[in-house]
Amino acid sequence: MTTVYVFVYGSLCSGQQNHSLMDKADLVSRQAFIKGALYAGSSYDPLLREDEHAWTYGELYSIDPEFLPVPGDFEDVLPDHGGGGFYRKEAEVFTDKGSVKAEACYWNGSETGKSIPHNDWKVHQYLQQDSYLYFAYGSCMDDARFISQQVHHLFEDVKGKGSLHGFRLAFSYHLEDGSRADIQESENDKVEGVLYNINKEALHYLFLREGVEAAAYRPAIVPVETDDGAVHQAVTFTVLSKKEDAPPPFHYAEELYRGGERYLSPEYIDALKQRFLHDLKVQHFQEFIEKRSRPYD
């Protein structure tokens, strides 16, 4: 069967109102991105304009052309620039696994509307709420900095452990003292983390802490499974410019391990310990583990 790739960024995305039209498509990437800038038009769907200086985030699917829905207004979409409005174009779409050529639907009409922050429609829609679920998989699993920065009260509503399937824990954000955690798509892997109920004040704190304005991390919406089998849409943060895994500094590894021990599965924590000890070879982590095994020293 012949299939094509299609990049979607609006109501066809998972969790959005027209996602059922993608029932016959196979998901390739939840965190795909393409050159372009996203705007809020007068209709429900956003408008994607070609822009070499911006990235728009969405989802990548493979699908039989017979079942290919048309993003945008679902009508009058031309295979070229036409006379204005929506048009289809093959473009390079990037994922954590590489890039492919995919069909995308662009807009060149006169109307644009306001630009969408972060060029991510799912994030834009999710953040219209007054409260959110936040999936922490890195240092925010630990409350030491929450306490020292006097924001602990914003993170007291802990839902518990959450699992993000189809992703792996990476250490792809590099600073002078070492790396910081990230999530990257990986089909057979899973990232465990802590699911919090938070409000706008907590989200503002997280945007500052994660360096969103400094283009270190960006917000993303991911499906997180809780121990009761329910799947929840949650906001998290992922690195913009990903690099190869590198060792984190000890103080950061300590936060991950200490915070994770309270909520995550013993198997996941043991795998994290082995990774810090043997794969990433975090300095002083061996002494830390030995000391924790001798609580009365």
Q: Are 249 and 149 in contact (CB under 8 A)?
A: no
Q: Are 55 and 34 in contact (CB under 8 A)?
A: yes
156 is catalytic: no
Q: Read off the amino acid at residue 114.
A: K
Query: What CA–CA distance (Å, rounded) separates 181 from 231?
Result: 23
Phi first, then psi: give them for residue 31, nearest 5 degrees: -125, 60
Query: What CA–CA distance (Å, rounded) separates 161 from 102?
Result: 36
Query: What CA–CA distance (Å, rounded) separates 88 from 103?
Result: 7
Tokens of 106: 């662009």
Q: Read off the amino acid at residue 59.
A: E
Q: Are 196 and 134 in contact (CB under 8 A)?
A: yes
Phi first, then psi: give them for residue 10, nearest 5 degrees: -130, -125
Catalytic residue among 59, 192, 210, 255: 210
Q: Hey, which residues are catalytic here?
A: 210
